[in-house]
Amino acid sequence: MASLFADATFWVGLGLLVFLGVVAYMGAFKAFAAMLDARAAAIKAELESLRKSAYVDVTWVDQSGARVSQVRRYPLGSRIELLRTPVTVDQRK
């Protein structure tokens, strides 16, 4: 038992446990969790605003060689059906 109290590693470990106990008693972990919750809510709000403004820019070349471009707003994750939507033709090559 005397060797346990003489070992510096034991005292460092004991000090760490006491420190963490005091920090937990003071409520620092709750404040940290609240900070993370607020950050998660801000990220969720930003993602929702980006989702509302998401758009798809589709460009391809048709059979005559004309460059066809289409910019449309679609909900994120929806199927995009290009053949059923009107397109604009850009003659630049």
Q: Quick one: angle between helices 28-52 and 8-26, nearest 10?
A: 60
The mean predicted confidence, pLDDT, of the chain is 76
Question: Confidence band (pLDDT; 50, 70, 90) for 38?
Answer: very high
68: burial class by Cβ within 10 Å (0-12, 13-18, 19+)?
middle
Q: What does residue 64 show for φ and ψ, rounded to 5 degrees?
A: -85, -5
- Nearest one of 54, 52, 62, 65 to 82, comparing CA atoms: 62
Domain ranges, ordered by start, for the chain: 2-52, 55-90
Mean pLDDT of 31-51: 91
pLDDT exceeds 80 at position 21: yes
Q: Give the residue with greater pLDDT, 78 vs 52.
A: 52
Give the predicted TM-score (pTM) of the model.
Answer: 0.47
Residues facing residue 55 across a β-bridge? 73
